[in-house]
Structure 1
Amino acid sequence: MAKSAPDEEVVKHHAEEIVPVETPKKWTGLIWDTFDKSPEERKFLFKLDAAILTFASLGYFIKYLDQANINNAFVSGMKEDLGLYGNELNYMQTAWTVGYVIGQIPSNMVLTRVRPSIWIPAMEVIWAVLTFSLCRADSAKTIYIIRFFVGLAESTFYPGMQYLIGSWYRKDELAKRACIFHTSSALATMFSGYLMAGVYHLGGIGGFKGWQWLFIVDGTISLPVALLGFILLPDVPETTRAFYLTKPEIAFAQRRVQLEGRKGREPYTWAKIRKIFSSWHIYVLTLLYVTFNNGGQGAAPVFAQWLKASKKPKYSVSQINTYPTTTNAVQVVSTLIYAWMSDGVLRGARWPPIVWGAVWNIVTAASLAYWDIPTGWHWACYILGGMGGGLSGLIMAWGNEICSNDNEERAIVVGSMNEMAYVLQAWLPLIVWQQVDAPKYQKGFITISFISALLIATAFLTKYLHDREIKQKQRVSFSDSSSSEEVEQVRVDPDSKNLAKEVQG
């Protein structure tokens, strides 16, 4: 695909100034990467962060608020009001998952052809309206149907935003942004607990129960965020028309990702499809994300149900909804630590935090599977289980980097990673997280232990295959060093001093 004119001029003019990536020269760059860049690039990244991260975090917040609210509504009166004494909660989650699974890869393929600033917010508006409608559900069957379409609308968001983030940021910037984005899910789950504790007392007002008010408030929060996306999302560098970016900054953005080795859009062809599905990328990266996403306690409200089943002491509805938020707090803190360590101290290595989080999953899940442990360790296991829940952004950043040479592959692989994780979630909870096994869930905790061990093995396999691929590319680059293609194998100096002159001009 032909590059834009500003891109060609910039690359031609500055080709001789391109040097390989170096580690940050100032310690402040380890705190936040823009501190080690020129004022012009810092200004550009501030604009980009303010737009993309604001919308991404708010959008993911409302997505997870919606997901968590089903569990919170269930333990706050919905179960009794609708007579849900079997595995209905499992089926509600599965209905959402089926819709979510169906939409992801097609949606990410659409994003390579339709502006993200139109497609993603439009789907958010639809799911906000559907969330409102849950307050009127009077049977499990009605909830199943609505949840399916909520999942279908939500399928555009997470893989779509990870693709978008991967379209703009460099390697030393990517994990922090992806993880900041992901922490909003834990914050939403925390907020949902406090929200349920608050709106529960609205029960009776307007003829609605407390759990029904939860969905009304949820929809009220969601709709303005969805509309904000039409204004803030910048699309991708080669098609952006964001009002807050100048023309020189757009050319600057295009050159940044070019020199990062990230390719622009190309047509879908059978040759490209065959290439994508004959590569190890889609299979190993998908397995990596599947084992992460199904190797934690999030498949069931285990902490809340343990509290609800407790006889001595007996916990209130407010306590049942708020105490489990400590797990999410641990997830937020650990996620940010992983991101800063990976981008900075670990120099872009993604696998060490992944292995660390998986080890904690095994420790906590194995303890809970045994069950006959001190009450204090019960609390610790539920809370520290959050240390394995913050790996999504790192894994997505790794996938974006590994697939940077093919835009369409990157979109499909990111979609496949998230989609197949939820394919497993569509049926696995029905077997190992059955509501009738609450609160012990022994099968669920044993499953976490084994899946987390597989996550560790897959992380090492990904590292081995990626390292081997890099060495093969380096050999090809060395043997063809006189070729003009060498320009695309190197990156900008982190100082970006020469690059910034163009923006300043």
Structure 2
Amino acid sequence: MAEKNNSNEQLEERNGSNEEKQTGVKPTGDAAEVEANQVLTEFTEEEARTIIRKVDFRLVPLLSILYLIAYVDRSNIGNAKIAGMSDDLKLTGNRYNVALTVFFVPYALFEIPSNIVLKLIRPSIWIPILVFSWGTVMTLMGTVSTYHGLVAARFFLGVAEAGFFPAATYLLTIWYQRYEVQRRMSVFYAAASLSGAFSGLLAYAIEKMKGIAGLGGWKWIFILEGLVPVVVALTLYFFLPDRPETAKFLTERERLFVVDRIALGTGSGRGRITNADKVSWANTKVAFSDWKVWMAIIPFWACSIGTYGFTATVPTVLKQMGYTTGKAQLLTIPIYVVGMTATLIVAFWSDQIQQRTPFIMGGFAIAVAGFIGELAVPHPHLPGVTYFFLFLVAAGLYCPFTAVVTLVGNNLAPSSKRAVGMALLISIGNLGGICGSNIYFAAEAPKYHTGFGVSLAICAAGILAAWILRKAYQKENRLRDELLEREGEEAIRAKYTEQELLDLGDLSPFYRYTI
């Protein structure tokens, strides 16, 4: 018991919460960093890799499966539409677009409050509540018999799903160093790309249940795909880890290692950061006032406008090329597999060379080429060419997304500011889903000039915004390097207590931004 208490005390010290740091007494040296480095040197490279693999196997597959389920449940309306829902619910005019749109209103509104709740209670409690809630709503969606019932169900699905993605992405940032996050996030987010293929395959099979219990095939799509998260949620509490300091699947010694390497490695400078800080009004306010978070929303919009409109429309595009409903469902699969592959390649490459913005700009450039192709092709006379450009669109829209989210996550500290800032990015960014759901007009099928044109324009804006962010972060890093060279590290440290440097987070003169 004494050994356990000592380890817990060490964990508290790593996160800047010991009594000495709270007193405001300036330390004579950076003893905490020296001690943390000493702990890290006790581990061999093989031991370090083994610990990180333990974290990987516990966290990444679990989050990936959950996001796959979430994305299938939000996007299966596109499959249900061509499986009979449109006729049964009389989705004439813009009714389908309204059903798509209403999801994003609560989805955007509740993301920031959800991440604040996440910092107040354990993720292993809050995330299962979210998963159970959206599974219940999705299952009940299979019982709707009117258009208005569908709209109400989509609204509550948005409420239930709102908190999961910002919670999951934030959770990754407190377990990994900055140039380890994107590759893990890509595996997690690749589930979104894979969900399009998975959803199409499931819909193809489930649709054949039409008539069982007097229900249409589209209703069975909602019911069966909704029961899955309900079952998963009931077991999730026992498997989802909260944070390194309390991880039961790690030994005390391994917890110290994870905490120290995150504290020393995530700031990418000479100072440490903390993930144990509490939510405060000051950090919430500074997250909202950071113009770079708002600038990052533009490339996020490029992803959300493009992908939500694309996933909801691509089955219809393929069907109007002359294919049957079943074949159109199956033809979506290779498109999403390419999107998933591009996401993984870019993320591993980005972490390897420690760059984010070039991959954001490059991905959108590919999407721009795809949208130009779709606008130029005389639909539906060249189905093969139309199909080819859909691959470019998918690859170009999916691969920049993790780079945008990771860029913001890498550049916000401490963790309470990061939790709010990432939720703000995702919340406002996901409002793009409203736009994406209302730019593909049925009257313009199969050319969809407005949909492809708006998506093209926002991708171009995303390229420009990424370039501005790159220049801004480069300038700030250069100014801090010049300050350090001019005044010296010791003179700068003498101006602050260690706790003050932790509280400054990414505003610390020792913090360096990812570009």
Q: What is the correspondence of 1:29-48 to structure 2 with a 5 Å cutoff?
A: 38-48=45-55
Q: What's the counterpart of residue 496 of structure 1?
A: none
Structure 1 residues 227 and 435, CA gap change in structure 2 (3 angstroms) = farther
**Residue aligning to 1:494:** none
Which residue number corresponds to residue 27 of structure 1?
none
Q: Distance in 2 between matches of 1:83 and 1:333?
A: 37
Cα distance in 2, alignment partners of residues 17 and 212 from structure 1: 56
Residues 170-203 of structure 1 show CA distances to partners (whole Å, capped at 9, x for unaligned) of: 1231110011100001111111101111111111
Q: What does residue 385 of structure 2 align with?
A: 377
Find the residue that maps to 2:110 and give its secondary structure.
Answer: helix
1:29-428 map, 5 Å: 38-238=45-245, 240=246, 242-260=247-265, 261=267, 262-296=273-307, 298-299=309-310, 301-310=312-321, 314-344=322-352, 347-372=353-378, 374-388=382-396, 389-403=398-412, 405-427=413-435
Query: Normalised by the size of structure 1, how large is the TM-score?
Result: 0.86
TM-score of the superposition, structure 2-length normalised? 0.84
The aligned amino acid for 1:400 is G
Q: Equivalents in 2 of 1:469, 1:490: separation in Å?
A: 10
Distance in 2 of aligned mates of 1:270 and 1:135: 42
1:38 positional shift? 1.5
Partner of 1:498: none
Q: 1:269 to 1:89 in 2, by over 3 A?
A: same
Range moving further from structure 2, 364-373 or 475-484: 475-484
- After the TM superposition, which segments of 4 or more aligned residues of structure 1 sit over 6 Å from their partners? 8-11
Deviation at 1:264, TM superposition (A): 2.4
Gaps in structure 2 of 5+ consecutive residues: 1-6, 15-29, 268-272, 503-507
The answer to whether the 8 Å contact 1:134/1:143 transfers is: yes
| Alpha-carbon distance change, 280 to 89 in structure 1, aligned in 2, over 3 angstroms | same
* TM-aligned CA distance change 1:47 to 1:298, over 3 Å: farther
Distance of aligned partners of 1:169 and 1:220 in 2 relative to their CA distance in 1, 3 Å threshold: same
The 8 Å contact of residues 181 and 393 in structure 1, kept in 2 or not, is answered as: no
Q: Report the CA distance between 1:72 and its aligned residue.
A: 0.1
Contact 1:91–1:144 (8 Å) recurs in 2: yes
Measured after TM superposition, the shift of residue 121 of structure 1 is 1.0
Q: Kindly tell me: are residues 189 and 105 of structure 1, through their superposed partners in 2, closer, same or farther at Cα, counting changes over 3 Å? A: same
CA contact (8 A) 2:97 2:437 kept: yes
Q: What is the CA–CA distance in structure 1 between the aligned matches of 2:308 and 2:366, rounded to whole Å?
A: 12
Give how far 1:303 is off.
2.7
What RMSD over aligned residues (CA atoms) do the two structures have, in Å?
Answer: 2.6
Take 1:128 and 1:8, find their aligned partners in 2: how far apart are those partners?
37
Out of 461, 466, 473, the residue aligned to residue 473 of structure 2 is: 466
What is the CA-CA distance between 1:106 and the residue it aligns to?
0.7
Are the structure 2 counterparts of residues 348 and 128 from structure 1 closer, same or farther at C-alpha, using a change threshold of 3 Å? Answer: same
Secondary structure of 2:194's partner?
helix
Report deviation, 1:383.
2.1
Q: Distance in 2 between matches of 1:142 and 1:150?
A: 12
Q: Which residue of 2 aligns with 1:501?
A: none
Q: CA deviation at 1:371?
A: 3.5
Aligned to 2:27: none
- Distance change (3 Å), C-alpha of 1:356 and 1:80: same
| Aligned pairs, number | 465
Question: 1:354: how far off?
Answer: 1.4
Report the more deviating stretch, 174-183 or 464-473.
464-473
Partners of 2:35 and 2:287 lie apart in 1 by 33
8 A Cα contact 2:196 2:311, kept in partner: no
Give yes or no for contact 1:187–1:332 (8 Å, CA) kept in 2: yes
